[in-house]
Homo-oligomer: A and B are copies of this chain.
Amino acid sequence: MITRLSTLFLRTLREDPADAEVPSHRLLVRAGYIRRAAPGIYTWLPLGYRVLRNVERIVREEMDAIGAQEVHFPALLPREPYEATGRWTEYGDNLFRLQDRKQGDYLLGPTHEEMFTLLVKDMYSSYKGLPLSLYQIQTKYRDEARPRAGILRGREFVMKDSYSFDLDDAGLAASYQRHRDAYIRIFDRLGLRYVIVAAMSGAMGGSASEEFLADCVNGEDTYVRSPAGYAANVEAVTTPVPAAIPLTDQPAAHVEDTPDTPTIDTLVAHSNAAHPRADRPWTGADTLKNVLVMLRNPDGSREPLAIGLPGDREVDLKRLEAQVAPAEVEPFDEVEFAKHPSLVKGYIGPGVLGSTGTSGIRYLLDPRVVPGTAWITGANEPGRHVYDLVAGRDFTADGTVEAAEVREGDQSPDGSGPLTLARGIEMGHIFQLGRKYAQALGLQVLDENGKLVTVTMGSYGIGVSRAVAAIAESSYDDKGLIWPREVAPADVHVVIAGKSAEIVDTAELIAAGLDAAGITVMLDDRNASVGVKFADAELIGVPTICVVGRGVANGVVEVRDRASGDKTEVPLVEVVEQLRARVRG
């Protein structure tokens, strides 16, 4: 196929779009791949749609290769199944809801666990149909609070979602592994640098769960790695719990005047000045900070929550939200403080917290606060703190919570040493859902002995449209996009660099030769300057550029590698064959 730039529906832009925050967004708009239609909603232009379809093809081939079968569900879905699993409510504002002309409630599908479960229930009643894996590549909808970064986090997007159905845990584990292997092949073919990390299952329910993150400084997800290879989404990192300290022989707690110490910094400075410790100075890590937040449940109800954590760490909202999902976290504002007179701002201590405390507010501790650890913390009076308050002796809480920020250098849960932090884009997510949906919707089959058993499921997603952005985000330079070969909108970009008949005819011949060899060609036959053509070729980012210019007089053209910038002079008689070899690799 030859695509002529003279007729291609394309207008490249020299200026960055005003709303573009990240390189992929900037470049995909500038190079004429996508165009914004509404906030978080994009139109695919001809070049962009080709790349999207290339990604779809790769995903489809690898899903077919593991025996997953393609189906296609509607995007407009009835309320009832989502009501049965609670997600009609749990999704909160993220769900697009609507009514039809008969006031029936519908939603735009954000993910299809319910529908797949019901379909299999409808079709199968025996173990003989299992194991079964079904998938679809489909447009999905989420009413993101903050759609951002172009198609990286849109409100209408294309996903591949698949679901496995097995009789038992071993079957689920095998289905999960097959998907995991397929995902590795897919992301390899997409040319992405990625890491597989342990993940939270979030609103999806279920147990084992991993994410495929594309390595990317602009990614929204932070993940950690240990020296021994442990990797986890920061939401899923578990804190190594220190050994408890015997409660005997610990000094008694004592309240001290600590005027004007409402912050950890002022408290530490005051403590070192007024109550110095013999062996080493006090630090924030010796203090116990109690942070209050409000949880908003999907049904709109709110409840307060107190989190006790070492004073040198902040609460990480994403980690906290992953723990309390489907609830969302909101600030604990002055109005709330007014409702709880026992809370003295800046001086809150465990005494008033927890189900047994004066406030009655649920109180969860960072896992580091093990029994026997002694803390400086608020005395619940203005200007006063308590010292040597020992966990398990002087206070308890309602449980623990993984909500403290994870830091570069923190000890890894696998014991192999300090964690390093990096950022990535969530490209795929694989879950062992287990029986949650099958139970909620009654998916049972008869096993070999004629006994009804509840099916166990896996759920596996890939962000197909997001992959286009992630690839762009991980492969560009100051001149433009650089597509990996399998997803590029064309194999070779032929630039007609001159107006002479000799140059034009030679370029046309090369394009025709490549086309005959099954190579897709972008042919810049526009009436534009060579400078404009070079700039557009580099912006568009086809991996191989063939410049047909004055060299034709000497029987040569120039072949450029977009990624490396390498330029080679190639004799005309060899150019089609050499390009074919490059493309077919």
| Residue with the highest number of chain B CB atoms closer than 10 Å, among A9, A10, A123, A134 | A9
List B contacts of A119 (CB < 8 A): 35, 43
Interface string of A1-45 (1 = CB under 8 A from B): 000000111110000000000000000000000010110011111
List B contacts of A124 (CB < 8 A): 11
A97 interfacial by beta-carbon distance below 8 Å: yes
List B contacts of A44 (CB < 8 A): 71-73
- A89 to nearest B CB, angstroms? 15
List B contacts of A156 (CB < 8 A): 74-76
Taken together as a complex, chains A and B put the C-alpha atoms of A10 and B145 apart, in Å, by 40
Q: Are A9 and B71 in contact (CB under 8 A)?
A: yes
Interface string of A94-109 (1 = CB under 8 A from B): 1011101100101010
A552 interfacial by beta-carbon distance below 8 Å: no
Q: Are A49 and B71 in contact (CB under 8 A)?
A: yes
| Residue with the highest number of chain B CB atoms closer than 10 Å, among A72, A122, A123 | A72
- A253 to nearest B CB, angstroms? 48
Taken together as a complex, chains A and B put the C-alpha atoms of A78 and B36 apart, in Å, by 11
Interface size on A, residues (CB 8 A): 51
List B contacts of A10 (CB < 8 A): 123
Of all chain B residues, the one with the shortest Cβ separation from A6 is B128
Q: Are B74 and A38 in contact (CB under 8 A)?
A: yes
| Residue with the highest number of chain B CB atoms closer than 10 Å, among A41, A52, A155 | A41
- A30 to nearest B CB, angstroms? 13
A77 interfacial by beta-carbon distance below 8 Å: yes
- A149 to nearest B CB, angstroms? 17
A70 interfacial by beta-carbon distance below 8 Å: yes
Q: Are A97 and B96 in contact (CB under 8 A)?
A: no
A115 interfacial by beta-carbon distance below 8 Å: yes
List B contacts of A139 (CB < 8 A): 75, 139
Q: Which residue in B70, B75, B77, B94 is a CB contact (below 8 Å) of A75?
A: B75
For this chain, the copies found in one complex come to 2
A177 interfacial by beta-carbon distance below 8 Å: no
- A272 to nearest B CB, angstroms? 48
A132 interfacial by beta-carbon distance below 8 Å: yes
A69 interfacial by beta-carbon distance below 8 Å: yes
Q: Which residue in B8, B35, B106, B132 is a CB contact (below 8 Å) of A122?
A: B35
Taken together as a complex, chains A and B put the C-alpha atoms of A71 and B69 apart, in Å, by 27
A447 interfacial by beta-carbon distance below 8 Å: no
Taken together as a complex, chains A and B put the C-alpha atoms of A70 and B132 apart, in Å, by 34
- A548 to nearest B CB, angstroms? 23
A141 interfacial by beta-carbon distance below 8 Å: yes
Taken together as a complex, chains A and B put the C-alpha atoms of A93 and B100 apart, in Å, by 8
- A550 to nearest B CB, angstroms? 27
A442 interfacial by beta-carbon distance below 8 Å: no
Taken together as a complex, chains A and B put the C-alpha atoms of A156 and B37 apart, in Å, by 21
Taken together as a complex, chains A and B put the C-alpha atoms of A35 and B42 apart, in Å, by 30
Taken together as a complex, chains A and B put the C-alpha atoms of A96 and B100 apart, in Å, by 7
- A73 to nearest B CB, angstroms? 5
Taken together as a complex, chains A and B put the C-alpha atoms of A35 and B115 apart, in Å, by 11
Q: Are B100 and A98 in contact (CB under 8 A)?
A: no
List B contacts of A168 (CB < 8 A): none
Question: Mind listing 12 A-B residue pairs with CB under 8 Å?
Answer: A35-B119, A35-B122, A37-B74, A38-B77, A38-B104, A42-B74, A74-B156, A75-B156, A76-B141, A76-B156, A96-B100, A100-B143
